[in-house]
Every structure is written in C-alpha cells, then in structure tokens.
Structure 1
C-alpha cells in the first residue's frame, strides 16, 4: 500500500482535487520568460493610459506630483530599443549567476562535490542520519541544483541501507535541499548575491529620497539564513522521525533489492583527491584571512571596514565563490584522475554554461521589464499609493511581514523560479515598504521564508517530477499525491515556525546579516 493509499480515502480525494486544480492553473500560466514579456507590454499600455492622469501623490525625489511617462511615445520607444543590449548585459543578476556557476561547474564536473557529499553521508551514525542528511541537503545549495540530482536519491539509498524506509529518506533530503533553500550552512550560496542584486534593482526603482545612497550587501540576510539552518534541521528531524516515517510503516517497498541503487564507497584515489582538495580550500581561505586582517588591507573600504558594502571583500563575494570552488575542483580532478588536462576544466565550465541557456533567456526579458517599469514611474506611484493605504489601515508591522510570507508562498505555487518571483514581488514590495520604514533587507528575508517553505509542495517546481520518479523506484505506484502528502507537513510547520523565527529577529532587533537593518527612514 502506498503512502497515497494510506491516507483516508475522502481526504486523499480532496487533496488530489486541490492538487489537480493547482496544476491545471499553473500549466496555463505562460513561461516566466514570456510572462516578463507580457508584463512589459502591460507596462507600456498602462503607461500610455495613465500618462495624462494627474495624481495627488508627491514624488519625494522632485517634490512635484508624480507623473507617469508614456513609454509608447516615439522618443521612449527609440530610447528603449537603443538601450536594449546595454540593459541586458548590465543586468546585475545575470553576471552574478554565470560567474558563480563557472567555478561550481568545474567542481561538479570533476566529481569534487559528489565525492564530498558521499564522504559526509557515509560516516554518519544511524541515530544522526536524518539531521545530517538534511544538513547536507542545505549545504548542497552552494552547488545550486546539485542537491536535487545527487543528495535526494542518495538519501533514499542510505535510509534503505540503514533499514529505514527510502521514501522517508527522500522526504528528509527534499526538505533540506528545497524546503531549506533559503538556509545557508555557514557558507554563502549563489542565491545570496543573486537575490541581493534583485533587491538592489528594486531599491533603484524607489522614489524615496534616501534610496539613491542605499547599497544592498550581498550577505544582508546571512546571519538569519545561517541561524535558520538549525531551525530547518530540527523541524525536518522531528517530522521525518515522528510523523513521516511512522506513516510509511505499512507502505511496502516493492522494488527488488537487486534493482535498487547502491551508494558506492569512496575509492582510494577519491579519498586522496578529497584530502588534497580540502587542503587547497583551507589554504586559500587562510591566505584570504591573512591578506584581509591588516588595517591597510586592499580588501577594506576607504573607512577601513571589511563588512562595509563598499569594501572590495564584500563586492567580491561572487568572485570568491568562483575561486573557492574552482581551486579544489581542479585539485581534486588532477589527484583523483578525473582531470587529465586543462581541456577537462574548460569542459566543466562549458557544461555549466550550457545548462544556463534558459536562465539567460529569462534574464533578458526580466531586464527589459525592470527597465521599462522603472522608466514608466508606475513603481513609484504604486509604492507611494500602497504605503499611504497601509499607513491609513495602520496594520501592525508584524502582520505586514506575515502577509509578505504568505503572498510569496502563494505565488510560489504558480511561478517556480526564485529569481523570477523576487523580480516580480520585490519590484513592488521593496519600494512600498521602504516608504513605511521597513528595510529592503527585512522584506527580502520575509520573501525567502515564504519561497522556501512552499517549494516542496508545488508540482511546478522544475525538479518535482524527478523526485516523483525517485519515489517510484521504491514504491512503484507513487505519484504527485504521494509526494505532496509526504511534504505537506514540512511546508505547514516551516511556514509557522520560520515566520515566527523571522518575527523574533525583528522583534528583538537581531541583525539579519552583514550591513543589514530592520528599519528605514519612513517616507
């Protein structure tokens, strides 16, 4: 009997109907790239319709009443087309993702990431299997999507080898990889600077007079996301061992043992490669620390600060991610024998870039939309009107933060891309909440909570069908309902506990990250 069959028939039927409705609606939405293109056309038309309307709202940047620019005017259209290439190539998130992926691609291609994760999981005591698996899932975020194709199937393998239900291993790993997507295990992921870049783009759309001088630090949520790691691990550990696995007790594993994958032990060459790769990574880190500590270090800002957003160290986060995965990846490859010449290193980079084609297409349309949205002045109008409405309603700020989390979770059911969602939501929410005195750092943190918590229940997640296939290797009649029923307890619990955790940071004014704040001068 499958997990799907184990649930009461009436409840399962209601669940399937709800999931089918979400899937139908989601499938009718355009692809995110086309969605941005359609939104851009909508902005053009809206700017034309509203360009002749007089508004009472005052633009703080000029002191005059806000005026919507007509983007369909001849001069606006020619300006748009003449800047199209520059708008695309200077789109901050594009370079951030591509540079980070060059280094990560080498580490993945040479087998360094694969061997490292296998090494961690193979020496884990049985009683700590669940929390370590979730922690490894969170750690895999530094390799972007590697956790989906590596950690999740390995979770099933090691649970089955330990005499536990493999679907529980899939659930625990999925909770770490995707449910804890916005948690960071002491190591910044490529998501941190990418989201910060989108937040900076949203800040630049603000009409707030102080926005011009505001620079978003790439690690503006780092303290919060690092602390969140322990929350995600504890929640996942409890739910896996006390809720999910007992529910799977009567779910038979109907695959033959001979057909099930085996977690291979590391070979001597792989162990030697890992040792040298770890040494190279530590050596590089020590050199960085030594070069950064002196008061006159070139890594420091003009004010002598390392953590300042203007400091070269902070502006080099993406470059350091590239270096700190390129070096050990190459060292591992040469020692383990997976790299024979520099051509293999270049092949790893090329392979990583070949998988970024879709992101580049999406980034092109996203960049054009954000440019058009900013030029139209619609964002400033919406932010000021929205802020004025919220001021009149006088909602407690805690409820506003909860609203951002829930809104993000709902949008996540329809739009799977984290960057696409934040580009859509952030362009409106960040400027609006800045007018109310809420910092972009806090708004971004609320977004990350809602985004992560619902990742694991949306069939529109690009890797969701793959996880269903992993389940079917062990329980052949597994389906979308099976996976949703496994992961729904994680989503509900994370939404409640993680939101409360964010409110705790806000309420006690605990720093969210480097150079971050909770408040902003109200407009």
Structure 2
C-alpha cells in the first residue's frame, strides 16, 4: 500500500509539474506578438543603455561603438522608412518562397505521402521500430505534414506485426520531433536556418556565409545514430510498458482508417506509374545537374573552379525548388492526375498559401532583427558576454553544455524552431564567434537543443496532435500517457546526440563541406 501511495504522489507531482509548464507556455503570446513585445523591450533597453555611455570595440571594424537609442526622432524615422526593405530583404523570406514553389507541387501531387506509405509497408517485425524511427528522421521534407502522414503510418506498421499501434504512433512522433533536425539530405528548413545564421554572423564578420550544407556530415551520421537510439530505447525500456497501451475495442481499426490523404484516390497501378516516372525524372535531373557542375569552367562554379564558394551552393534553394518541381510534376503526370499545365501553378499557389502564417511571422521577426542591428545591442552583448566567459576561464565543452541546456529550456516554451533560432541566433552566434566557435558549430548545437525537447513539451502543436491521435485509439490517453513514453527517449537522445557532437568536436571532423567544427 505504501508503494502504491508513493507512486500516486509521484505521478501527481509529475502531472502538476507538466500542468505548470503547460500553463506557463499557454500564457505566452503568439510568436508574432512575442516578437513585437520584444521589439518594444529592445527599444526601451536601447534608450537606457545609450544613456549609460557603454562602449565596446566592434570586432568587424575595430572602432569603438555604443548602443544607439531607438527612441530618438532620427532613429524612428530611419526604422519606419526602412521597414519595407527590412522585410523584403529578410534572407529566409525569399528562400522559403522559392523552395515552397517546388515542394508544393511534390506535396500536392501526393508524392511525399505515397513514398512514406510504401516505405513503411511490409516491414518485418524485427525491424519495424528502426524503420519507423529512420522514416521519421528522414521526413523533414514533409514539414508539418510529416506528423499527419507518419504518425498514423507508424500505427499501421506496428499493428501489422502484432505490436501496439499506439506505441507505433509514439515512436513516429518522437523520431519526427527529436530526430527531424538530423537529416542526411538538405531540407528547406536547413536553408532557412543557414540564412538566419548568416545574418547573425554578419554582426561580427560581414564576409562570413553559413550554408545549408554546413552541417551535412554531422546530420547524416546523427540520423543513423538517433534512429538506432530510438530503437534501443523502445526495445529496452518502452517495450516493458507496451502492455499499458491498450486500444479500445471500438477503435481497433482507427489507425488503418486514418491513413487517408491525397493519394487514397489513386489505384496501385497509378501509384506505380507515378513513382516510375518520378524515378526516371530524378535520375535525369541529377545527371544533368552533375554534368553542369563537374566542368571547372561551369557557370555554376565559383572563381577558379571553386565549388564551396559557388553560385550552385549560394543558390541551393533554387535547385531544391526545381528538383521537387520536376519530381512532383512527373508523379502527377505519371499517375494521371495532371489534367493540364495550369495545374502546376495552382499547386504552387496552394503551397504559398500554406506558408502564409510563416510569412506573417517573418514580418515581425525582420523588424525585430532590424532593430537589433540598428541599436548594436547584439554587438555589445556579444563582446561583453565573450569577455565575461573568457574571464571565468570556462572550457569550450562547458560553454557548449551551457548553450545547449539554455536553448533546450527555452524550447519548452517557444516551440517554433525557426522563431526560437531567429531569437537566439543574433546573440549566441556573435558571442560564440568571438570565443572562436564557427557559426556552423553553433548551428549544430542548436539542432541538438531544439530537437530533443520537442517531444516532451505540451506547448507544441505537434504534441497536442499526437495526443489526439492516441485518443482515437484509447479515449483515456492524455498528456501524461505521451510524456511517460517520450521522456525516456528525449533524455537519452539528448545525452547520446550531445556525446556524438563532443566526440566529433574532439576529433576535429568537419561538420559539412568546407565547414570545420573548430
């Protein structure tokens, strides 16, 4: 009896803590308003700091700079007249729009869904966990659609081999959330992250460019390591509680019936024809691209035949967009969905409409960053912070741990990866650069911190979505149900991924092409 009561109290305390986190997160405004609130706080802070006369040496120019008062008449005029330019020239804006034009065609044609469903069909019982985990890690191209497609598919895959479909949902959810930033391929989000990192790095050095490929080597290995980690945690820890994930009798077929999407209207023959056309188109596209890149005198190469500093890598967003445009068009034509050429621009328009909320958020973010740059607070904070850390004599490893833990805690409340990166990048990238850390290394640290806590915060819309999916199979499933299974995965993955990074850093292995870890 004593043990039962202790467990009850422990569970109640845990649920109360989760409820407290949920209330705190719900108290935060929408990210759009959050950035405008921070805009006001930053403006007031600039007024106060400018009056103190604090000055630091600008690492970029070597000149002494202080904080500019954003509330002065001249500053307000300058900010208002430059608002349009700040938004239009905001790096991620054009990147997202260009990439989405191509991705939308592949998404609206049903290509992504068909590939995901077929990849998880006929998976053997011994490899089902790894297959679902790796599928989630590779699903970043689907963006938010990954949850809608892969969570039900995880249930179907587990049910097919006689295991709990609820556990299949949880494994898929954890792998998308926690391993989504460990992707061996270049996804649209990588391009956005690189653009934000580049703008932040320009605070210190205007010649620095962060590319979407700068973490490619590290994320490729990480995807496999994290998929194996999820598999081991599931089989060694979560499997012991799998019996508690009981499906309601009247919901036994819910998982299978929920896997419906744009491809549900296609016959197997149509899907096969579409995939065949897609495969041929992909090979032709990649062959032509390789033929255009290989010659040293190619216009896609840089000066002297340079590849890392080339129009190809600088314009990777355009080539990604064209790649998905070709694949989506080929699948739609091969599966007999393409009625006329006018369907393609319609798919593109649908894709742009789907990211309208992100464009709205970008407007607020661009104005906040423009103010940050104008006030030069980021420069002052970076220099003062780096000097303070150097004075304390903190090792690089200790600094990495502090950065990762702080971002992980923030991510419990600000669950939008791009919004949080836009918020912290202008501070941590310049500060870390002054301490000798490559921006690509800071970006890799952010991936670890941002990813691993995504699956344990009730503030995330994907978390709520997964709870909803679980409730389609068991009406009593709730936040506590999901947390009890995701927490072990999140903690162990955090330790494993951070350990992988520290080993990578200690060995001095490049994070990507032309991106040294030190």
User: Which SS does the other structure have where 2:52 is aligned?
Assistant: coil
Match of 1:433 in 2: 432
Match of 1:238 in 2: 232
Residue 346 of structure 1 and its aligned partner are, at CA, apart by: 2.2
Aligned-partner Cα distance in 2 for 1:64–1:253: 67
Residue 288 of structure 1 and its aligned partner are, at CA, apart by: 0.8
Deviates more, 1:156-165 or 1:55-64: 55-64
Check whether the contact 2:186–2:212 (CA below 8 A) recurs between aligned residues. no
Residue 56 of structure 1 and its aligned partner are, at CA, apart by: 5.3
Match of 2:256 in 1: 261
Residue 64 of structure 1 and its aligned partner are, at CA, apart by: 4.1
Residue 201 of structure 1 and its aligned partner are, at CA, apart by: 1.2
Alignment of 1:307-386 (within 5 A): 308=308, 310-386=309-385
Check whether the contact 1:217–1:514 (CA below 8 A) recurs between aligned residues. no
Aligned-partner Cα distance in 1 for 2:34–2:255: 41
Check whether the contact 1:16–1:481 (CA below 8 A) recurs between aligned residues. yes
User: Which SS does the other structure have where 1:66 is aligned?
Assistant: strand
Length, aligned pairs only:
507
Match of 1:398 in 2: 397
When normalised by structure 1's length, the TM-score is: 0.94
Deviates more, 1:384-393 or 1:125-134: 125-134
Residue 423 of structure 1 and its aligned partner are, at CA, apart by: 1.1
Alignment of 1:13-24 (within 5 A): 13-24=12-23
Match of 2:191 among 188, 193, 200: 193
1:386-440 residue CA offsets vs partner (Å, 9 max, x unmatched): 0010001111100111111111110111101111111111111111111111111
Residue 84 of structure 1 and its aligned partner are, at CA, apart by: 0.6
Residue 266 of structure 1 and its aligned partner are, at CA, apart by: 6.2
Residue 260 of structure 1 and its aligned partner are, at CA, apart by: 4.3
User: Which SS does the other structure have where 1:514 is aligned?
Assistant: coil
1:348-400 residue CA offsets vs partner (Å, 9 max, x unmatched): 22222112121111100100010101110111110111001000111110011
1:37-61 residue CA offsets vs partner (Å, 9 max, x unmatched): 1111112111112223223532334
Alignment of 1:4-43 (within 5 A): 8-43=7-42
Alignment of 1:276-291 (within 5 A): 276-291=277-292
Residue 259 of structure 1 and its aligned partner are, at CA, apart by: 4.3
Distance verdict in 2 for CA 1:368–1:259, change over 3 Å: closer
Alignment of 1:455-494 (within 5 A): 455-494=454-493
Match of 1:216 among 210, 216, 226: 210
1:104-143 residue CA offsets vs partner (Å, 9 max, x unmatched): 1111111111111111111422211111111111221012
> Are 2:298 and 1:303 equivalent residues in the alignment?
no
Check whether the contact 1:217–1:515 (CA below 8 A) recurs between aligned residues. no
Aligned-partner Cα distance in 2 for 1:97–1:152: 25
Aligned-partner Cα distance in 2 for 1:83–1:95: 18
User: Which SS does the other structure have where 1:456 is aligned?
Assistant: helix
Aligned-partner Cα distance in 1 for 2:289–2:223: 25
1:287-334 residue CA offsets vs partner (Å, 9 max, x unmatched): 11111111212211103122x1x3011012111211111111111111
Match of 1:227 among 221, 226, 230: 221
User: Which SS does the other structure have where 2:429 is aligned?
Assistant: helix
User: Which SS does the other structure have where 1:205 is aligned?
Assistant: coil
Aligned-partner Cα distance in 2 for 1:201–1:357: 23
1:446-475 residue CA offsets vs partner (Å, 9 max, x unmatched): 011000111111111122211111111212
Check whether the contact 2:57–2:65 (CA below 8 A) recurs between aligned residues. yes
Aligned-partner Cα distance in 2 for 1:127–1:37: 51
Aligned-partner Cα distance in 2 for 1:275–1:352: 24
Check whether the contact 1:224–1:513 (CA below 8 A) recurs between aligned residues. yes
Check whether the contact 1:224–1:512 (CA below 8 A) recurs between aligned residues. yes
Check whether the contact 1:112–1:329 (CA below 8 A) recurs between aligned residues. yes
1:79-99 residue CA offsets vs partner (Å, 9 max, x unmatched): 111111111011001111222
Distance verdict in 2 for CA 1:286–1:86, change over 3 Å: same
Aligned-partner Cα distance in 2 for 1:436–1:251: 48
Distance verdict in 2 for CA 1:86–1:56, change over 3 Å: closer
Check whether the contact 2:509–2:516 (CA below 8 A) recurs between aligned residues. no
Any stretches of 5+ residues in structure 2 without a counterpart? none
Aligned-partner Cα distance in 2 for 1:133–1:63: 52
1:142-185 residue CA offsets vs partner (Å, 9 max, x unmatched): 1222211101111012211221001211121112211112111x
User: Which SS does the other structure have where 1:150 is aligned?
Assistant: helix
User: Which SS does the other structure have where 1:473 is aligned?
Assistant: helix
Check whether the contact 2:217–2:511 (CA below 8 A) recurs between aligned residues. yes
Distance verdict in 2 for CA 1:166–1:377, change over 3 Å: same
Residue 194 of structure 1 and its aligned partner are, at CA, apart by: 0.7
Distance verdict in 2 for CA 1:259–1:453, change over 3 Å: closer
